[in-house]
Structure 1
């Protein structure tokens, strides 16, 4: 194994790799040497209804610049035929090989209602959130898993928010993120006989592009927002999540973790990776120190 690029020769698909955690994962898999197919709805051909500036092409270019091979494929993961065509392309171009599948599709920021209980929410909006954040993962796994099963090896990563049963503050948001963990558990059970692992992974307070925009800062001056939200001082970049996933993908013993809900704050201790600035943020430790008295414990991992 190449110690500097332990994923050299490996093939990954990061579904929902346009921005945020998905982008961070794609780039770090590239830094570890992988060929990464980056997919999502926002591309140079046009933005999705989220109307964000980031594109799959930009992420793919970052993958290549990091040392891997980035391949952008505009894909709507809610459309089974588009996903089928994507997987057929990967199979044709990579001789049937797929080593890592990352289900990071989200698209629910504008659909999440943080103010109202279920009985006061718009039902169509909530169900659309579940369609985007859960059904897309199922569709993608349905078509991608046969490549891993055929080779009897691989890793599926379900990207979520939180790794415990703690309620996440909004009904449909909570159902989506909790269900994604259960998707990892269910896939792990069915894939285990074939030597394929499946896990859920969560970041802490993620400093995504959208979060930076919310605070009116950039990655260069993000600490200016700490005065507005002191907890932001303990946030982490998408690279931290990416390095966690890359470490899992390079771990020959990853099957020991199959079916588990994991977090950057636990994985950095095991694998020793750092965030982009060399720090090792630990959201769970911050929660225990500052937030637990008011909000209760995070709880045990699922």
Structure 2
């Protein structure tokens, strides 16, 4: 970490002191500190921004900076850009370049948060970055072994390493929240094959992590949950379909189920709602979705809708003629 420490944005001292004037009702996470591991783009970026909008200081980590791109190969989204969006939303963003497969870097990250803030209230394990390795409709003996193992390292090992180092700071105070990000709920993934062996493992593992961490954290008065977006209109997904956020519906002609797509804002609002809920412990160890939480907490996507992909997708798979509007 020492080689990149000079390029990161420095914390501004204790969050409680800086934000004491902010209306806590409007910004319920004032004085709170969050770490979003994997905040470069997509769900992680949206979650980091919405936690900041609610008043939190947010440490945004990832491998793509303005000076260096990760193996994903996208240069249009960076952790510095995420930190700036957090600031614009009214929070305080701190970009820390971190490879969450390198224990020493993660240890240094947590030590820095402790030194600058003295606390950690929300940990979001959103590290992934394996889409470029994914080839669906291949049996395990047909899939490239190196790519498959890399997906497991990116989607599982990173979460384990980050949890190992960050949880001791998280549990220092009762009320800490750990969110394991994944693709699919327990109800959806449990009885279904996710079309590729390594991807299936990588996206089912965080569901089990949330359950087991819930068991381990409850004695400390802390909470662990799994959270999934629906069909996410991430920057990478929009590029894949050759559309933008403004004309995303044009992609429905290519992929009809894209009609249920949601912007990253929805899952960002879901994470912020969980973090602001004083009774979130009732959800300890459970699997949650952005669409389900939108109904429970009453928030919407940017267009005012509440897309519920994990209710829609099984019905669509049975009958492609179902109307996505009935699930929004």
Residue correspondence of structure 1 range 107-186 to structure 2 within 5 A: 107-164=129-186, 165=190, 166-186=192-212
Q: Displacement of 1:107 after TM fit?
A: 1.0
Distance in 1, matches of 2:226 and 2:287, equals: 5
Residue correspondence of structure 1 range 81-92 to structure 2 within 5 A: 81-92=104-115
Root-mean-square deviation over aligned CA pairs: 1.2
Distance in 2, matches of 1:74 and 1:12, equals: 16
Consecutive unaligned residues in structure 1, runs of 5 or more: 295-302
SS in 2 for 1:223: helix
Scaled by the length of structure 2, the TM-score of the pair is 0.87
Distance in 2, matches of 1:56 and 1:121, equals: 32
Q: Deviations over 1:166-191 (max 9, x none)?
A: 22111100000001111111111111
Distance in 2, matches of 1:192 and 1:124, equals: 37
Consecutive unaligned residues in structure 2, runs of 5 or more: 1-22, 321-328
Q: Displacement of 1:278 after TM fit?
A: 1.6
Q: Displacement of 1:288 after TM fit?
A: 4.7
Superposed structure 1 runs of 4+ greater than 2 Å apart: 284-294
Q: Displacement of 1:293 after TM fit?
A: 4.5
Q: Which residue of 2 aligns with 1:21?
A: 43
Of the candidates 58, 83, 103, which is equivalent to residue 36 of structure 1?
58
SS in 2 for 1:278: coil
Q: Which residue of 2 aligns with 1:297?
A: none
Q: Which residue of 1 aligns with 2:214?
A: 188
Q: Displacement of 1:246 after TM fit?
A: 0.4
Distance in 1, matches of 2:126 and 2:99, equals: 13
Q: Which residue of 1 aligns with 2:67?
A: 45
Scaled by the length of structure 1, the TM-score of the pair is 0.94
Q: Which residue of 2 aligns with 1:292?
A: 318
